[in-house]
Amino acid sequence: MQKSFGTLPSGEAATLYTISGGRLRAAITDYGATLVSLWVDGVDVVLGYDDVNGYAENDGFLGAVVGRNANRIKNAQFELDGRTVKLTPNEGSNNLHSGPNPFNTRFWSLDEVSENSVRFLLASPDGDQGFPGKAVVSVSYILDSNDTLRIVYDGISNKDTVFNFTNHAYFNLAGEGHPEKAMDQTLMLPARFFTPDDAENIPTGELRSVIGTPFDFRTAKPLSQDIGADYEPLHLQGGYDHNFEVFTAPCAILTDPESGRSMALSTDCPGVQVYTANFLDVIGKNGTHYHKRSGVCLETQFYPDSVNHPEWQQPFTKAGEPYHSVTKFKF
């Protein structure tokens, strides 16, 4: 099913596509290939806006597809093929989510749509946001019969480049209209270590054990339990906004204790960024005020600033080689 999703001041009109599968329904717009809603047994569990104009002013990246590079790059530059690739700083001296003119503020072309899936394409020219290579990327949303949302990312470039995509959905399994309950959700992460950041949100390079820290989610606990602990990484970021290792599936399980609703996350990416909406302050669907800590993002990706840490798994894709990545959310 498709319907109008509003018109921007420029006159460009957005379309909203609704797909269904099992207990799930999802709504995705061609503006940014953005995940607008995800209903589980009729309850919408992702934060969002009522129409395209909210997403055009989307400072919080609600439901956004982020690329070509998710997360941060120190000093907005890195080395590739013997030359320095320079991006635009947009968070102090660093680059966040690829910088200005992000993918989530562009219209994507509809490639395929069916009852349970939709696929969008985006052409990204050579030098787009500073990244080398003329690229074509795609994002597919697929609702499987086993109550799973699959997000599939594909890309190919005519030059060596960076492909490191994620989805920036904010989840509240109590329902997006209940922001006060978001931090009651319990999170289980089998991760053995996380990557601490400096005061500019850039990883220090340390892989720190979670043992004995507020970052130990190996046994499920409420997000609120240790978020206010006297621990420097939490002070620096105002809460959780950190990358954890991924080494098993599922790599995270999020649960709403009141309804019993749960979501198991699996990915082929090496990391998952847990972000507790520490600075969110927007008016969302039905006039709901999404304030600080109204949801949690579980962003599957390469480690932040991995382009400047050769000891970590790298997000570089060779010219002419296809990039393919899958993240699954099972309810």
Q: What is the dihedral of CA 173, 176, 181, 187, to 10 degrees?
A: 30
**Selected catalytic residue, list 168, 176, 242, 245:** 168
Selected catalytic residue, list 97, 176, 299, 321? 299
Closest Cα partner for 60 from 236, 161, 179?
179
The C-alpha atoms of residue 155 and residue 151 are separated, in whole angstroms, by: 14
Using left for φ > 0, alpha for ψ between -120 and 50, and beta otherwise, residue 96 falls in: beta
CA nearest 245: which of 218, 284, 282, 223? Answer: 218
Tell me how far apart the alpha carbons of residues 56 and 64 are, in angstroms, rounded to a whole number. Answer: 11
Given the structure tokens 């992000």, which residue do they identify? Answer: 102
- Residues 307 and 243: their CA atoms lie apart, in Å, by 15
Residue 326 to residue 331: CA distance in whole angstroms: 16
Q: Tell whether the torsion through CA atoms of 270, 324, 129 and 295 is positive or negative.
A: negative
Distance (Å, whole) CA 298 – CA 289: 21
d(CA 32, CA 65): 7
- Is 12 known to be catalytic? no
Q: What are phi and psi of 24, to 5 degrees?
A: -110, 150
Mark whether 79 is an active-site residue.
no
Catalytic residues: 168, 299
